[in-house]
């Protein structure tokens, strides 16, 4: 069977950073209990991830997509609690700046969103944030813990993380290239899945694909 690939947004144009991206996701998925996960392809930009996903599907290859939502998910694209009925491809088609058409033969269950961006995931495990950045982390600059993480505006989230880490001496101020994939490898998937329904959907679907398509190569 042709191997499943997971096309992810992230890694920029640096070979080293793309390696960190793949390793970060691999460690996260292992900790989440996805014993057999697809080949992770760090695509850099979200546009490249979408393009590579479409190309794989057009070539008859099993493929999954993971990108930032960049914005809140409209209720019409997240109807009810049944995650099988959620519509990430409709979100990506209608979001200004994307406008991506549905790839031929694509199923919504092959597409996944980090809502509203990867940094949202880190807020679900503040213990890890404190452990990584040390006592200089200013927790009061972060959104209150009672606030649903997926409701936090992406721009305000970046501002809060930068403000919270501005005076950290151990790691320095948060940098996407320097810290993001290291944090991804360390965060607790259980806490993340409890805080982020879209992250829970992603992990649950990968576990399902692992059973359906095993063995992957």
Q: What is the DSSP string of 17-73?
A: HHHHHHHHHHHHHHHTT-SS-PEEEE-BSHHHHHHHHHHHHHTT--EEEEEE--SPP
Q: Say whether both 136 and 38 belong to one domain.
A: no
Whether residues 127 and 106 fall in one domain = no
Q: Do 208 and 106 share a structural domain?
A: yes
Do both 39 and 91 map to the same domain? yes
Pair (36, 100) in one structural domain: yes
- Which residues span the domain enclosing 171? 119-175
Whether residues 113 and 123 fall in one domain: no
Same domain, 91 and 68: yes
Compute the half-sphere exposure of residue 175: CA atoms within 13 Å on the CB side of its CA: 8
Indicate whether 94 and 169 sit together in one domain.
Answer: no
Distances (CA, A) of 18 to 15, 24, 153: 5, 10, 26
CB 179, CB 132: distance < 8 Å: yes
Q: What pLDDT tens digit does each residue of the chain (217 aa) get?
A: 358 999 999 999 899 999 999 999 999 999 999 988 899 999 999 999 999 999 999 999 999 999 999 999 999 999 998 998 999 999 999 999 999 999 988 999 999 999 999 999 999 999 999 999 999 999 999 999 999 999 999 999 999 999 999 999 877 899 988 899 999 999 999 999 999 999 999 999 999 877 775 444 3
Helix (H/G/I), strand (E/B), else coil: 158: helix
Q: Is 55 found in the same domain as 93?
A: yes
With left for phi above 0 and alpha for psi between -120 and 50, is residue 11 left, alpha or beta?
left
- Are the beta carbons of 73 and 91 closer than 8 angstroms? yes
Q: How far is CA 185 from CA 26, 122, 193, in A?
A: 8, 11, 15
Residues 89 and 194 reside in one and the same domain: yes
The radius of gyration of the chain from alpha carbons, rounded to an integer in Å, stands at 17
Task: Name the one residue in this structure whose structure tokens are 């096309």.
Answer: 7
Cα 120 to the center of its chain, rounded Å:
9
pLDDT per position as a tens digit, 178-197: 899 999 999 999 999 999 99
**Beta strand 5-8 pairing with 63-68:** parallel
The structural domain count of the chain equals 2
Q: Are residues 66 and 131 in the same domain?
A: no
Q: Determine the angle formed by the axes of helices 126-133 and 176-186, rounding to 10 degrees.
A: 130
Whether 150 and 80 share a structural domain: no
> At 109, is the secondary structure helix, strand, or coil?
helix
């Amino acid at each position: 069977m042709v191997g499943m690939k997971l096309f992810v947004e992230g890694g920029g144009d640096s070979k080293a950073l793309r390696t960190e991206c793949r390793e970060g996701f691999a460690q996260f998925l292992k900790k989440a209990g996805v014993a057999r996960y697809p080949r992770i392809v760090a695509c850099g930009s979200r546009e490249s991830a979408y393009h590579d996903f479409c190309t794989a599907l057009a070539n008859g290859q099993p493929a999954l997509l993971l990108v930032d939502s960049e914005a809140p998910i409209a209720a019409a694209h997240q109807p009810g609690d049944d995650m099988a009925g959620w519509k990430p491809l409709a979100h990506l088609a209608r979001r200004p700046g994307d406008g991506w058409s549905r790839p031929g033969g694509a199923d919504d269950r092959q597409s996944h969103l980090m809502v509203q961006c990867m940094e949202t995931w880190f807020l679900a495990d503040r213990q890890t944030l404190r452990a990584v950045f040390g006592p200089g982390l200013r927790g009061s600059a972060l959104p209150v813990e009672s606030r649903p993480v997926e409701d936090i505006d992406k721009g305000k989230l970046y501002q809060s993380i930068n403000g919270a880490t501005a005076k950290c001496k151990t790691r320095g101020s948060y940098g996407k290239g320097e810290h993001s994939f290291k944090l991804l490898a360390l965060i607790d998937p259980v806490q993340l899945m409890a805080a982020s329904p879209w992250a829970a959907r992603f992990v649950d679907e990968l576990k399902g694909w692992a059973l359906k398509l095993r063995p992957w190569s």
